[in-house]
Structure 1
Amino acid sequence: MTAVVLTIGSVALALATGLVASGIGGAIGGVATGGKALGNELAAMLGSFYGPVGGFSGVLAGIVILALVG
């Protein structure tokens, strides 16, 4: 089994990638679920605002678990 090396750069890159991906996914999900009721622009804005709430914490939890296991 190989040891996992976490550097500050790789952690920052993972968090930034997770933040961007969850923002895009939240915008797409917001348009898909509330586009007709709220309008596509508002639904995308709300989705991109609330999407990273779960995505960022999920990536952070994954990094912590990886640091503890590795």
Structure 2
Amino acid sequence: MDEDPVILDGGLATELEAAGFQIQGDPLWSAKILHTNPQAVKEAHCRFLRCGADVITTATYQASVEGSSSTWA
């Protein structure tokens, strides 16, 4: 096993909070930011890549039609 380690991205919530987003107390924070400001998520992922991440993960694990339609209706 001579493979180099794979570096994963960091905490998306922490990165977005550092950029000034208020996400505490919002159970659908990632889906909401994807809906209202997808560029912020893209920029956070770009920062992870610039810092050396080999893998970035999606921010859609909280997204659902039921959750978003009742929250943003």
Same fold (TM over 0.5): no
- Shorter-chain TM-score: what band? 0.3 to 0.5
Q: Higher relative CO (CA 8 A, sep ≥ 6), structure 1 or 2?
A: 2
User: Larger % of helix: which?
Assistant: 1
Larger radius of gyration: 1
TM-score when normalising by structure 2? 0.33
